[in-house]
Amino acid sequence: MGKKVILGLSGGVDSSVAIIELLKQGYEVEGMFMRNWDSATNNDILGNPDLNDDVCPQERDFQDAEKVAEECGIKLHRIDFIGEYWDNVFTYFLNEYKKGRTPNPDIMCNKYIKFDAFLKEAERLGADYIAMGHYARVKHYPDHSILLRGVDSNKDQTYFLCMLRQDQLKHSLFPVGDLTKKEVREIALENNLATAKKKDSTGICFIGERNFKKFLQNYLPAKPGNMVTLDGKVVARHDGLMYYTIGQRKGLGIGGSNEYNNDAWFVLGKNLKKNELIVGQGIDNPYLYSDHCFAEDCNFIYDIPREDKVYQAKFRYRQSDINVKVKLLPDNKMEVIYLEPVRAVTPGQAVVLYDGEICLGGAIITDVYMKEEKRLY
């Protein structure tokens, strides 16, 4: 029998096919389903689109995971990380919104749950490795491991893995990272897996698809205020700064006016002190562009970036690569200088660095500048 792998089996098609790939490679495979959110006790029912369904989405996912585990002949464990998720992911999520930033909980979920709490539980069960259904690749060397982009560039998920540490990565496998999504679907169909035609999940990590506004209202009080132009003219009211993100167009509700043309309105920034949402017209409004940003909580998986080299960066998932230079600063911070201005770089999101196919790691964006002018983001 090969080395033992415990796979995060989510009830989705990607992790289902990961079982097939691991078994092909000769591993001894067991699955583990993570329950990280308790809808019954966390009073989020207003944001749950499946309110009238007899079975909640999380329980349906577990049932699908059970079917796939049985089809593949592997043992399935079920584990609760509700406390860990609340303390390390959801609390962070809420605190970032209080700061007026736009967080990425999936990144923290990977850092603290899938590759930390999960890894510890898997090691307790005797695993040599853990595996996840992410579209990413890992190369293990005797003294270190490196994270590589997934083969399917449209599905590559290394952006969400940028906060992994070396001790986490060296125990990790990504069985579908060498496959395209199309190939994953084909393998699932060939093996008659219960999840072969299941749609991909979206929404907040482990919380799922919800009416985001209603969901957030359960945890943070809304503070309505004015929508203002850059020169301070009030054009509408906002429902609370936390509901908007930089570059957003939908849901602003700004009516027609003789004073302005018919160009679309976008969120240009936020003034937290005045509780004002700054808006302006035009998808390419100059205020949306910046040429450098600062970031904190830097995490470099193996290689540390050099100041004399050009790297590639992503400021959000699925963004095209941006050529940048990096300046490391004290207190685990860095400055990222873009070789060309970039639209809607947003505090709270991650800037993730690449050296070709290698994901170097990332940091959380704090401040955004155009030349010497700090954007009110």
Catalytic residues: 109, 205
Hey, which residues does 269 pair with through a beta bridge? 278
Report the alpha-carbon distance of residue 114 to residue 208 in Å, rounded. 16
- For residues 270 and 100, the answer to whether their CB atoms sit within 8 Å is yes
| CA separation, residue 314 to residues 165, 343, 361, 377 (Å) | 19, 12, 11, 18
| CA separation, residue 180 to residues 40, 135, 151, 297, 354 (Å) | 37, 8, 7, 32, 20
Report the alpha-carbon distance of residue 163 to residue 92 in Å, rounded. 14
Q: Which distant-in-sequence residues (6+ apart) come within 8 Å of 334 by Cβ?
A: 294, 295, 298, 305, 326, 327, 328, 363
- For residues 135 and 150, the answer to whether their CB atoms sit within 8 Å is yes
Hey, which residues does 36 pair with through a beta bridge? none
Can you read off the two tokens belonging to residue 185? Answer: 């679907």
- For residues 288 and 343, the answer to whether their CB atoms sit within 8 Å is yes
- For residues 333 and 314, the answer to whether their CB atoms sit within 8 Å is no
Q: Which of 122, 37, 124, 43 is nearest to 81 (CA)?
A: 37
CB atoms under 10 Å from CB of 283, counted, come to 12
Report the alpha-carbon distance of residue 306 to residue 298 in Å, rounded. 14
Q: What is the SS3 assignment for 309?
A: coil
